[in-house]
Structures are given as C-alpha cells and as structure tokens.
Amino acid sequence: MQRLNRQCLHAADPGPSSARIGFVRSRWILLGWIGVLPVSAAPAFIGDRACASCHPSQWQRQSVSRHAKALSPINDSPLPALLVDRPLRERGGIAYEYEVVDEGLQVTVHKDGAAVSAVLEWTFGGGAQGLTPVGRIGGKYFEHRVSYYPERGNPAITIGHPLGLLRKARDGLGLLQDGRTISKCFGCHATGVEGTPAGPNLSAMQPGIRCERCHGAGGEHAQSAQAEGDGRRRYIGNPGRMNARKITEMCGDCHRLPEPGMLTRTPEKIDPFNVRFQPMGLMASRCFSRSQSLSCITCHDPHEDARKDAGFYVEKCLACHSDAAETSMDCGRQEQRNCLPCHMPRASPSPHLFFTDHRIRVQ
C-alpha cells in the first residue's frame, strides 16, 4: 500500500495564501470582450470546431495542448486505464475499486464490510502535474479522494484532502464541493461555463480551455467572416491587441494574480506555494515593470504547451539583454548561456509539484 502524502491545493485553497495576498475572482468568460459585440446579440458559443476551417494552424496546435485537456469526460481521459483492474488500498482498511459504466467511471469504496459507490464523471487536469476525478452524489459535486500524479507514477491522495485515517467508506469518495467552489473549478478548466451559487450551468460548456474561453463567443465573428466585406475583427477579441499588462492579467484570470495594491517584490518568500502562480512572480520582476512590454506571450505561444528547450527562452532574454538590445545590462555570468537555472529556477513547493519561478531576478 502506497503512503499517500500530498499537500493541499485545489479544494481547500483558492489561491495565493498569505494574509497580504488575495486572489482575483475568476470571471467565467472574459466579460471584457462583450463590449465589442453588438449590444443586442447574446454571446453565441459555437465551439472550437467551427474555428478550425478558417484558422487551421491555431486549431491544430491548440487541440493537442494541455489547455484543451484541462477538463475531459472521465472515460476520454487516461484515468480508466490507470485505475480499473488495479485494486487500490489505503491505510485503515479502505479499498477502492473502479469500473467503467455508461455514465462515467464507477468507484466503490469498501471498509469494514460496508461499501458505497458513486459515478465519477469528469477528469480535471491535462496531466502535466495531476489528474483529479469529479463526480456527483445526490446532485452535489464531489472531488474524489484519489488522484493520479504522473510525476510519481501512481495514484495518491488528492491535494487538499485529509491525510489521516478515514472512519467510514463514504469518506473515501472524497469531499463535497459547494456550488460556488465547483463553479470556479469548471470556470477555470472549461469554456462557456456559467457559474451560479447553486453550481455550474454546463449546458453550453465545452470541456477544456478552448478558443472562446480566451477570444470570447465567436458566433457573430464566424457569421460575418463568411459575409464578404464585413468588419470581421469587430466581433472577436484578440488579446494580441492588448498591452502587456492586460495580456498578463488575462492569463492571470486563471493562473492567478496578486490582489490589486498588494503586489509584493518577493511572493515566493512570503509563501513558497506562490511559485505556482506564474503571474505573481512575473509581475514582481523588473523585466516586467521596467520593460512595459514583457508578458506571458513573450515566452509562451498561447496555443501551445510550454517549450522545454532552454535555448528558446534564452533567445527571449537576449532580445532585451544583449549588447545590441536597448536594456542591455551586464551579467557577469552570462558566458554560461542558460540563464534559467540562475534567474528562473525550478521550485518544488511540495514533494510532487514542480514549477518554474517566474520572478526573474538576482536572488
């Protein structure tokens, strides 16, 4: 039996966790874009496939990104293959069994001769750090106690869940989430979700972070793009037209922002978990505040996963820090070409989570 020992993040912790730093509540869709739509038009979500024929390059890359996989129906995710037919035990005589059914993945938890079952419907997470199942009991959403963490290569207790001995089989199903909390989960991991205090309205949802989560509903745009001569651009948001701060704030809608007025120079020292929230670190960097042009999309294509080759990022640094660049500053160590280990170190705030500290700095 695996000893499951993970630190909390999703359920219990809504974000940056110091007394001085809050987190900006997520909006379900980027309301800023509504302003560019005709007042009378209700935003019409048309789904990513509708964009594919006219924007094949973005569509092909984005469809295989972790953004697109941030939420999936559980039986379309890797979880059934990882959990079915592999009996799982936890200290205190708890045993978990999984079976694929029409509605999802059925989990049965056994303890002391008692057994309870429920159906897990959704997998949260694209698999870079973890996969967490979510289901419903009696109409209420719950986050399952067991997640899968690729880094350790086996199931483990979902971060945020109690690590102590469980008293009854029911506790093995996991933690109930109130309507607001679970609305936020879906709001950050999917497209076209309407959050309500009672729970998310999923009737117009597309699982995963797809085109219209960042660009706004595309119905009007697609229609007018077909009608020749119409001002197509008016009907779709293009974050590329915003300034660096606004772009960073858009990404920070999910990746988290420091609360306005609460910007600290050293977020990772206040709480090591803040390295998880890249915008907090980046916005505390002089590269960001002094350049006024550095944003998340300087180093990340919003339609792709993060590049793994250091050389790609070093080129970005050198665009601003080289003899030829305007902001040329002298790094005594620059002859060691990979800037990242010194200026953007990897950090592991808990044993199985790994992030890149986005506060670009001299220690």
- Cβ 293 to ligand HEC shortest distance, Å: 5
Compare residues 2 and 238 and give the one whose CB is closer to ligand HEC: 238
The DSSP string of 269-311 is: HH-GGGGG-HHHHHHTSHHHHHHS---HHHH--TTSPPP--HH
Distance between CA atoms of 265 and 288, rounded to whole angstroms? 12
Residues 12-51 that bind ligand HEC (CB under 6 A): 26, 46, 48, 50-51
Residues 179-218 that bind ligand HEC (CB under 6 A): 181, 184-185, 188-189, 209-215, 218
Compare residues 95 and 160 and give the one whose CB is closer to ligand HEC: 160
343 lies in the site for ligand HEC, by CB under 6 A: yes
The DSSP string of 319-355 is: HHSSTTSTT----TTTTS---HHHHS-EEEEETTEEE
222 lies in the site for ligand HEC, by CB under 6 A: yes
- Which residues does 181 contact at the CB level (< 8 Å), separation at least 6? 11, 14
Residues 58-77 that bind ligand HEC (CB under 6 A): 58-59, 62, 66-67, 70
Q: Which of 316, 345, 349, 350 binds ligand HEC (CB under 6 A)?
A: 316
State how far the alpha carbon of 143 is from the alpha carbons of 161, 231, 292, in Å. Answer: 9, 45, 40
Decide if 360 contacts 285 (C-beta within 8 A). Answer: yes
Distance between CA atoms of 219 and 221, rounded to whole angstroms? 5
Compare residues 113 and 229 and give the one whose CB is closer to ligand HEC: 229
Residues 80-109 that bind ligand HEC (CB under 6 A): none
- Cβ 50 to ligand HEC shortest distance, Å: 5
Q: Which of 16, 126, 258, 267 binds ligand HEC (CB under 6 A)?
A: 126
Compare residues 166 and 280 and give the one whose CB is closer to ligand HEC: 280
If DSSP codes are grouped into helix, strand and coil, which group holds residue 86?
coil
Residues 229-268 that bind ligand HEC (CB under 6 A): 232-233, 236, 238-241, 247-248, 250-251, 253-255
Distance between CA atoms of 71 and 303, rounded to whole angstroms? 16
Residues 281-300 that bind ligand HEC (CB under 6 A): 282, 286-287, 290-291, 293-294, 296-300
Compare residues 3 and 308 and give the one whose CB is closer to ligand HEC: 308
119 lies in the site for ligand HEC, by CB under 6 A: no
56 phi-psi bin (left φ>0, alpha ψ -120 to 50, beta other): alpha
- Cβ 3 to ligand HEC shortest distance, Å: 19
Residues 142-171 that bind ligand HEC (CB under 6 A): 143, 159
Q: Is 138 exposed, middle or buried (0-12, 13-18, 19+ CB in 10 A)?
A: exposed
Distance of CA 153 to the CA centre of its chain: 20
Please choose, out of 32-40, 72-80, 87-95, 352-360, the segment that lies near ligand HEC by the rule CB under 6 A. Answer: 352-360
